[in-house]
Copies of this chain bind each other. A is one copy, B any other.
Amino acid sequence: MENVHKPEATCEQELAAIRDSLEILGGKWKLRIMRHLNNHIGEKNTFKKIQREIEGISAKMLSKELQDLEINLLVSRIVMDTKPVTVNYAITEYGLSVFPVTETLVDWGLNHRQKIK
């Protein structure tokens, strides 16, 4: 009996999976946004509030990155009928699945910095 637990993938499929992951989680802002939302669960994370709190991000980038994250079901976008209208962004249940990944990146990066210095 082969193929026991893991859904085995070919080398090509694995490379495609890595590309997918890096495309969705890579770039300058995506993980920053995810981590920010994760650190502010329960709060009203409006567009302006996020932009104020993530230092350096422009409206254009924040808008684009939030759209990408929403398309990938990692972040939810809810329009509130306040006046003026506000939009509340939050990490989804599924979005939480990125944190084990980021943790391995953090651990490896920290260890690597030790190794190199």
Contact = CB atoms under 8 A, between A and B. Distances in A.
Given A19-B109, A110-B9, A101 B104 contact: yes
Which of A6, A35, A112 is packed against the most chain B CB atoms within 10 Å?
A: A112
A107 B73 CA distance: 17
B100 A17 contact: no
> Size range of the interface on A?
35 or more
Give the secondary structure class of A's interface: helix
A97 B111 contact: yes
A21 B97 contact: no
Interface of A: 6-7, 9, 11, 13-22, 24, 26, 31-32, 35, 39, 72-73, 94, 97-98, 100-102, 104-113, 115-116
